[in-house]
Amino acid sequence: MLKGKGVSSGIGLGNVVVLKKVERNVDKKTIENEQIEHELERLHMALNEVAGETEAQLKNISGTEADIMQAYLMIVQDPTLITETENIIKNDKYNVEYAVEVGFNNVAQIFQNMDDEYMASRARDIIDIKNRVLAKLLNEKNVDLSNLKPNTIIVATELTTSETAKLDFKNVSGIITEIGGENSHTSIMARTHSIPAITKVDNITNILKDGETVAINGILGEIYINPTPEEKQKLLAIQNELNVEKLELEKYKNEKTVTKDGTKVHLYSNIGILKDVELAIKNTAEGIGLFRSEFLYMDSDTMPTEESQFEVYKSVAEKMNGKEVIIRTLDIGGDKELKYLKLEKDANPFLGYRAIRLCLDNLPLFKTQLRAILRASAFGKIEIMFPMISSIDELRDAKKVLEDCKKELDGENIEYDKNIKVGIMIEIPSAALIADKLAKECAFFSIGTNDLIQYTVAVERGNEKISKLYTKFHPAVIKLIKMAIDGAHSANIICGMCGEAAGDPLFIPILIGLGLDEFSMNSNSLLKARMTINNLEKEKCEKITEEVLKMSSAVEVEERLKEFKAN
């Protein structure tokens, strides 16, 4: 048996089709002035072909898959990406193939360096588009994935978004890749189509052979080569349990999120773009706990105007029809480069010039966004959340800028919610340690576990060599979460969580035991989280939490929670 990371639950049995990674050498050539226009024409011809193919795929799909491919199309047509590549041809005078290789890689690296897992995953899409454009320029033949034999197990170094969109899903029994993550478009599409998927399996394209029989368990990341009858029977029993669970989850749509002994919590969704709202509504999110506003900036080659931001925020508020929409102000910086901001590179971007630090230093940028949010608050229940707060002085400074914006709007007779709530992210240990003080000067907290873990255990979560040390089960992380929740409650304000931990069924009992008020997560995790919460008893969660708080090992914590879940 081989082991990887399960990213889409389910059981798959079938025959292997291996997609070998294309090895490509891109020549670097200088061009003359008279060749520039020709190279630009070739670039746009290839881009238009890729865009045309993507638009054709969009006509035959709907729902989440269509949302994913629409976002993919936006990347294909992204002015920043195109301009970066054009400049290498026009200014540096290099051939189009080399310009595509360098230009797309530059933009992909910007996304790859981001601390937000969803946005970092978009780097894969940029590389996918780059390879498709190069294939057009070099007249390469692409593998046809639309006509597969029944019960096919796809095996690849990495299955790109465009390749996944071409798949004949009714004939795909599973997906195994060497590279990928839970937030890749491939993983999301696999979950949407209920296809088991496993990633992070080293050298799998060389281990497995075309036509070989394989069974996979997408829950545990297990791969069985030429499975025995006993192994097949075991996996079939698991599949039957999953089918029952899927039907059960549908029952939790539109249900309240409340424990068996009557503790009510809020179940919210995280979103990044306007399209994400539809999935949140479909899975009956009770509100938006995190709107990552940086997408508006990343998808533009110039600074988004107040008007353009206002229209997006207003639209989200109206679609949510009176439910809370918490907008996080711009979380951008040295690790999330914007060409038009011309930021200097930080030696350590995760500890550098970003988020609220950057905004307080760039008041025109900050006030433009705050004015747009305030104006949109007249059309729904919008709230403001400041990221990367490390001290009470930063909170006070940010609130002062907000008050200045309110005075400006009052002077212009522009309506907004005069009582708009202002909260902060608790994602830096210093903020958790003074949570009781911060809570007296804001309306709510939202714990960002992705960064809180990173800063607490000194592990950059994208570093594979030390990734096993990056864990929410670390007792120090749990104690900081407790401090944040207790600090909020000491001032009678709500404490939520919008990091990945909020949607983990194994970790949820700890959060209930600690008294977390609001859980915000990827929309696809909502129903599973609601089912988990509704089948827990707070009193039992409090007891297991007391046990865990006395432990000194992340391994011990995780194992104890697995025992608790099993019982």
CA atoms of 154 and 493, how far apart (whole Å): 49
| 125 and 187 fall within a common domain | no
Mean pLDDT of 265-272: 93
Question: What is the sign, positive or negative, of the torsion defined by CA atoms of 118, 120, 126, 128?
Answer: negative
| 211 and 278 fall within a common domain | no
| 45 and 159 fall within a common domain | no
Mean pLDDT of 511-534: 94
* Per-residue pLDDT at 324: 97
Cβ contact 292:350 at 8 Å:
no
At 334, the pLDDT band (50, 70, 90 cuts) reads very low
Q: Where is pLDDT greater, at 226 or 460?
A: 226
Q: Where is pLDDT greater, at 157 or 464?
A: 157
Q: Give the tens place of pLDDT for each residue, 368-394.
A: 999 999 999 999 999 999 999 999 999
How many folded domains does the chain comprise? 3
Tell which of 190, 206, 240 closes a domain.
240
pLDDT beyond 50 at 248: yes
Rounded to 5 degrees, what are φ and ψ at 153? -105, 115
Q: How many CB atoms lie within 10 A of CB 185?
A: 25
| 9 and 40 fall within a common domain | no
Within 414-528, strands assigned E span 422-426, 444-447, 494-497, 518-521
| 203 and 344 fall within a common domain | no
CA atoms of 166 and 162, how far apart (whole Å): 6
> Which residues on neighbouring strands pair with residue 384, listed in sequence order?
327, 422
pTM as predicted: 0.70
Mean pLDDT of 21-33: 83
List active site positions. Answer: 185, 498
* Per-residue pLDDT at 299: 62
| 126 and 227 fall within a common domain | no
| 450 and 532 fall within a common domain | yes
3 state DSSP class of 225: strand
Nearest residue to 339 (alpha-carbon basis) of 291, 305, 292, 299: 299
C-alpha distance from residue 83 to each of 76, 100, 429 (Å): 12, 11, 40
Question: Which of the residue ranges 59-63, 278-282, 387-391 would you say has the lowest mean pLDDT?
Answer: 59-63
> Which residues on neighbouring strands pair with residue 324, listed in sequence order?
381
Whether 402 maps to a domain, the answer reads yes
Q: Give the tens place of pLDDT for each residue, 102-149.
A: 989 888 888 777 766 666 767 878 888 888 888 888 887 655 677 788
CA atoms of 423 and 406, how far apart (whole Å): 17
Whether 84 maps to a domain, the answer reads yes
Q: Chain-wide mean pLDDT for the chain?
A: 88
Strand order in the sheet with 213-217: 2-3, 222-225, 213-217, 11-19, 152-156, 172-177, 197-199, 5-8
CA atoms of 61 and 355, how far apart (whole Å): 37
Whether 261 maps to a domain, the answer reads no
CA atoms of 153 and 18, how far apart (whole Å): 8
| 378 and 482 fall within a common domain | yes
CA atoms of 469 and 459, how far apart (whole Å): 7
For the chain, what's the residue count? Answer: 567
Element (H, E) at 324: strand 324-328
At 273, the pLDDT band (50, 70, 90 cuts) reads confident
pLDDT beyond 50 at 279: yes
pLDDT beyond 50 at 519: yes
Q: Where is pLDDT greater, at 85 or 73?
A: 85
Classify residue 261 as exposed, middle or buried by CB count within 10 Å of its CB (0-12, 13-18, 19+): exposed
CA atoms of 382 and 557, how far apart (whole Å): 37
107's tokens: 């933009």
Whether 321 maps to a domain, the answer reads yes
Whether 148 maps to a domain, the answer reads yes
Which CATH number do you get for residue 133? 1.10.274.10
* Per-residue pLDDT at 348: 60
pLDDT beyond 70 at 464: no
Contacts of 49 (CB under 8 A, 6+ apart): 136
CA atoms of 258 and 252, how far apart (whole Å): 11
Tell which of 240, 275, 300 closes a domain.
240
pLDDT beyond 50 at 335: no
Rounded to 5 degrees, what are φ and ψ at 233? -65, -40
Tell which of 76, 106, 137 closes a domain.
137
22 DSSP assignment:
P
Whether 39 maps to a domain, the answer reads yes
| 10 and 121 fall within a common domain | no
Mean pLDDT of 156-177: 83
How large is the C-alpha radius of gyration of the chain?
24
Mean pLDDT of 340-362: 73
Tell me the residue range of the domain where 299 lies.
266-566
Question: What is the sign, positive or negative, of the torsion defined by CA atoms of 92, 98, 99, 103?
Answer: negative
CA atoms of 210 and 216, how far apart (whole Å): 16
| 321 and 466 fall within a common domain | yes
CA atoms of 195 and 186, how far apart (whole Å): 10
Whether 115 maps to a domain, the answer reads yes
Which CATH number do you get for residue 191? 3.50.30.10
CA atoms of 137 and 143, how far apart (whole Å): 16
| 304 and 369 fall within a common domain | yes
Cβ contact 199:179 at 8 Å:
yes
| 103 and 181 fall within a common domain | no
Contacts of 535 (CB under 8 A, 6+ apart): 260
Question: Which of the residue ranges 351-355, 365-369, 423-427, 459-463 would you say has the lowest mean pLDDT?
Answer: 459-463
Give me the DSSP letters along 339-398.
GGGTPPPPSSGGGSSBHHHHHHH-HHHHHHHHHHHHHHGGGSEEEEEE-S--SHHHHHHH
Which CATH number do you get for residue 447? 3.20.20.60
Whether 248 maps to a domain, the answer reads no
Q: For strands 444-447 and 5-8, give the pairing.
A: unpaired
88 DSSP assignment:
H
Give me the DSSP letters along 104-158.
HHHHHHHHHT-S-HHHHHHHHHHHHHHHHHHHHHTTPPPP--SSPPSSEEEEES-
Classify residue 546 as exposed, middle or buried by CB count within 10 Å of its CB (0-12, 13-18, 19+): exposed
> Which residues on neighbouring strands pair with residue 224, listed in sequence order?
215
79's tokens: 């002015």
3 state DSSP class of 29: coil
CA atoms of 149 and 273, how far apart (whole Å): 36
pLDDT beyond 70 at 86: yes
